[in-house]
Amino acid sequence: MLAYLLRRLIALVLSLAVASVVIFLVVEVAPGDPASYMLGINAQPDTVAALRSELGLDVPKVQRYLTWVGGMLSGDFGTSYTYRTPISEMIADRLWISLPLALLALLLSTLIAFPAGLIAAARRGQGSDVGVMAATQLGVAIPNFWFAMLLVALFAIKLRWFPSGGFPGWDDPLKALKALTLPAIALALPQAAILTRVMRSSLIDIMGEDFMRTARAKGLSRRQALWHHGVRNALIPVLTIIGLQFSFLLAGAIIIEQVFFLPGLGRLVFQSITQRDLIVVESVVMLLVFAVITVNFAVDMAYAIADPRLRRRA
């Protein structure tokens, strides 16, 4: 188990190092100089040069890379070209919205998908299975921004249970949660539909296994066998999908953030790209990579907990 953990940790660090180099190179070779973009087309060359040196763009690339990575390691992400504020602060503000939103959406989708997948698998071919499968079909097909607008029309405008958008901050946690509820539901819907289908097919595969028959021969009822022997074995593919979904929810909520006027990470990336605020782009993308890799690491650990056979393997 320890060797497995160590191996995964080394893989994690290596992936981060490779990712940082790739991100730095990609952003550097992108056309467009931030200094001339910020000063406009009519700027004098010497003004641009002055700004370039102020922004630290005139030093060699290797040195800039090292400064960037070194800064990040000590928690200093640099200063935004556009807003002239520390990037760490900007990211922290946004993260306080994006992270709870992603977690809430993931929680919702898991809470829907587990029972739904279990019921569909246990009653395969019966009415409830057909119903669940039809619902997941719909869940995958409906665009979530449109679904978000329906939610706003019903719950915010008509019933006035939830605000229609914006974020009041975490001073009043209840208000903050209320503001995140509708976006979380909109984000969770397609994820829940996918997860339900994975859960169902994974369970159905497991139900055909020999050890399920052994469990029945011991005297377990169908339901007990499914619960005691099926679920944990069916978890591996489900965990994989949950890991992928979390990474997606963290950064991919950009459209939903737009619909609900939430100043989240997705919007920050979008704005920074349009304003050529390269160092913000670099830092946020690096942060997202970090999040994805850490989540994958957590998923790997969860695999090992769910399946003892993996603890031994490389």
Partner 1 sequence: MTGPLLDIRDLSVAIKGTQILRDVSLKIEEGEIVALTGESGSGKSMTALATIGLLPQSVEVSGHLVLDGQDLGTLSERQLCDIRGRAIGMVFQEPMTALNPVQTIGAQVAETILIHTKTTRKEAEIRARTVLERVGLPADRFPLGRYPHELSGGQRQRVVIAMAIALRPRLLIADEPTTALDVTTQAQILELLRDLTRTEGMGLMMITHDLAVVSDLADRIAVMKNGEIVEQAPTRQLFEQMSHPYTKALFEASQHQADLPQAQCAPPLLRVQDVARDYPLPRRHPFAKRPYFRAVKGVRFDINHGERVGLVGESGCGKSTLTRAILGLDPVSAGQITLDGDPVYSSGQPNPMVQRQIQVVFQDPYGSFNPRHTVARLITEPFHLLPDPPQGAARSDAIAEALTAVGLSPDDAAKYPHAFSGGQRQRLAIARALIIKPKLIVFDEAVSALDVRVRAQILDLMADLSRHYGLAYLFISHDLGVVRSITDRVLVMQHGAIVEQGKTAEVFEHPNHPYTRALMDAAPKLPRIGGNGA
Give the residues lining the site for partner 1 (CB under 8 A): 3, 6-7, 10, 209-211, 213-221, 224, 228-229, 232-233, 306-309, 312-314
Q: Are 257 and 94 in contact (CB under 8 A)?
A: no
Taking the complex as a whole, how short is the minimal distance between the CB of residue 204 and partner 1, in angstroms?
A: 15
User: Is the Cβ of residue 67 or residue 233 nearer to partner 1 in the bound state?
Assistant: 233
CA 194, CA 238: separation in Å to the nearest integer?
Answer: 10
Helices 231-251 and 265-274: angle between axes, nearest 10 degrees: 40
CA 14, CA 109: separation in Å to the nearest integer?
Answer: 32
Taking the complex as a whole, how short is the minimal distance between the CB of residue 221 and partner 1, in angstroms?
A: 5
Taking the complex as a whole, how short is the minimal distance between the CB of residue 216 and partner 1, in angstroms?
A: 6
Taking the complex as a whole, how short is the minimal distance between the CB of residue 78 and partner 1, in angstroms?
A: 33
127, with CB counted inside 10 A (0-12, 13-18, 19+), is exposed
User: Is the Cβ of residue 47 or residue 126 nearer to partner 1 in the bound state?
Assistant: 126
Taking the complex as a whole, how short is the minimal distance between the CB of residue 206 and partner 1, in angstroms?
A: 10
User: Is the Cβ of residue 61 or residue 313 nearer to partner 1 in the bound state?
Assistant: 313
User: Is the Cβ of residue 220 or residue 301 nearer to partner 1 in the bound state?
Assistant: 220
User: Is the Cβ of residue 10 or residue 30 nearer to partner 1 in the bound state?
Assistant: 10
Cα distances (Å, whole numbers) of residue 294 to 8, 80, 214, 258, 300? 10, 26, 38, 27, 10
Which of 104, 149, 158, 175 shows the shortest CA–CA distance to 259?
A: 149
156, with CB counted inside 10 A (0-12, 13-18, 19+), is middle
User: Is the Cβ of residue 47 or residue 221 nearer to partner 1 in the bound state?
Assistant: 221
CA 121, CA 235: separation in Å to the nearest integer?
Answer: 14
Q: Which DSSP category does 229 fall into? A: I
Taking the complex as a whole, how short is the minimal distance between the CB of residue 238 and partner 1, in angstroms?
A: 14
